[in-house]
Structure 1
Amino acid sequence: MNLAAIDLNLLVAFEALLEERNVTRAGQRIGLAQPSMSSALTRLRALFGDELFIRTAACMQPTARALALAGPIGEALARIRETLAPDTAFEPATARRRLTIAVTDYGDLVVVPALVALLRQEAPGIDLVVRPIADPSAILAALERGDVDALIGGHLPGSPRVVRHRLFEEDFICIRDKEHAEPLTADEYLRLPHALFSSAGGDGSPGVVDAILAMEGRRRRVAVTLAHVVAVPFAVAGTDLVATMARRVAGRFAEIAGVTLMPLPYDTPPFAIDLLHNRRATADPALRWFLAVIERIGRSL
Structure 2
Amino acid sequence: MAELPQDSQRSALAGVDLNLLVALDALLTERSVTRAGQRLSITQSAMSGALGRLRGLFGDELLVRSGQSMRLTAFAESLQVPLREALAQLEGTIFSRSSFDPRREQRTFTLSATDYTSLVLLSRFQAALAAMRTQVRVRVVTSDVGGSIPRLEAGEIDLAILPANFSRFPALSSQRLFDERFVPTIWAQNQAVSEPLTFEALAGARLLSYRLGPLPTMVERRFEELGVHLQPAVVLDRFVDGAFYLRGTDYVTFLQRRLVEQLADAAELRILSTDIDLPTFAETMWWHPKAANDAAHAWLRERVLEAAASLDGHPPRG
If the length of structure 1 is used for normalisation, what is the TM-score?
0.75
Contact map agreement 2:98 2:294 (CA 8 A) in 1: no
**Contact 1:52 1:66 (8 Å CA) reproduced:** yes
3-state SS in 1 of match to 2:239: coil
2-structure distance, mates of 1:192, 1:226: 20
Distance, in Å, in 1 between the alignment partners of 2:68 and 2:170 is 21
Identical residues among aligned pairs (%): 25
**5+ residue gaps, structure 1:** none
Which range moved further: 77-86 or 53-62? Answer: 53-62
Aligned CA distance change for structure 1 residues 70 and 133 (closer, same or farther; 3 Å): farther
Q: Secondary structure at the match of 1:230?
A: helix
Q: Please say if residues 97 and 293 of structure 2, whose CA atoms lie closer than 8 Å, have aligned partners that are also in contact.
A: no
Secondary structure (helix, strand or coil) at the match of 2:196 reads coil
**Corresponding position of 2:123:** 113
Say if 1:259 and 1:124 are closer, same or farther in 2 by CA, change over 3 A.
same
Deviation at 1:153, TM superposition (A): 2.4
Q: 1:118 to 1:16 in 2, by over 3 A?
A: farther
Residue deviations 1:74-118, cap 9 Å, x none? 334444554565654211222211111222233322232122112
Task: Give the structure 2 partner of residue 149 of structure 1.
Answer: 158
Amino acid aligned to 1:109: L
The residue matched to 1:151 in structure 2 has which SS? strand
The structure-2 alpha-carbon separation of the partners of 1:189 and 1:66, relative to structure 1 and needing over 3 Å to count, comes to farther
Q: Which residue of 1 aligns with 2:101?
A: 91
TM-fit CA distance, 1:173: 0.4
Q: Is the 8 A contact 2:112 2:160 kept in 1?
A: yes
- Aligned-partner Cα distance in 1 for 2:39–2:249: 56
User: How much does 1:246 deviate?
Assistant: 1.6
**1:186 aligned residue:** 198
Query: Compared with structure 1, are the counterparts of its residues 210 and 89 closer, same or farther at alpha carbon in structure 2 (3 Å cutoff)?
Result: closer
Distance 1:275 1:213, change over 3 A: closer
Give the Cα separation in 2 of the matches to 1:126 and 1:216.
Answer: 46
Matched, 1:126 2:136: yes
The alignment status of 1:254 with 2:264, answered yes or no, reads yes
* CA distance in 2: counterparts of 1:35 and 1:177, whole angstroms: 58
The offset of 1:126, in angstroms, is 0.9
Conserved 8 A contact 1:189-1:265: no
Q: 2:55 aligned with 1:42, yes or no?
A: yes
Does residue 7 in structure 1 map to residue 41 in structure 2?
no
**Number of the residue aligned with 2:247:** 237
2:117 partner SS: helix
Within 2, Cα distance between the matches of 1:157 and 1:116?
27
1:198 counterpart residue number: 210
Q: How many residues align?
A: 292
Counterpart code for 1:18: D
CA contact (8 A) 1:150 1:275 kept: yes
Q: Equivalent residue of 1:175, what SS? A: strand
Letter paired with 1:147: E
Alpha carbons 2:105, 2:135 under 8 Å: kept = yes
- Root mean square deviation of aligned Cα: 3.8
Letter in 2 for 1:198: Y
Matched position secondary structure for 1:265: coil
Is the 1:150–1:276 Cα contact (8 Å) retained in structure 2? yes
Residue ranges of structure 2 left out of the alignment (5+ in a row): 312-318
- TM-score scaled by length of structure 2: 0.72
- Asked if the contact 1:192/1:240 (under 8 Å) is kept, the reply is no
**Are residues 13 and 156 of structure 1, via their aligned partners in 2, closer, same or farther at CA, if it must alter by over 3 Å?**
farther
Task: State the shift of 1:146 in Å.
Answer: 1.5
C-alpha distance after superposition, 1:4-45 (max 9, x if no partner): 41528677643442236447568879xxx7698446513552
Q: Secondary structure of the residue that 1:41 maps to in structure 2?
A: helix
1:223 counterpart residue number: 233
8 A Cα contact 2:61 2:73, kept in partner: yes
SS of the residue 2:291 aligns to: helix
- Contact 1:54/1:60 (8 A) holds in 2: yes
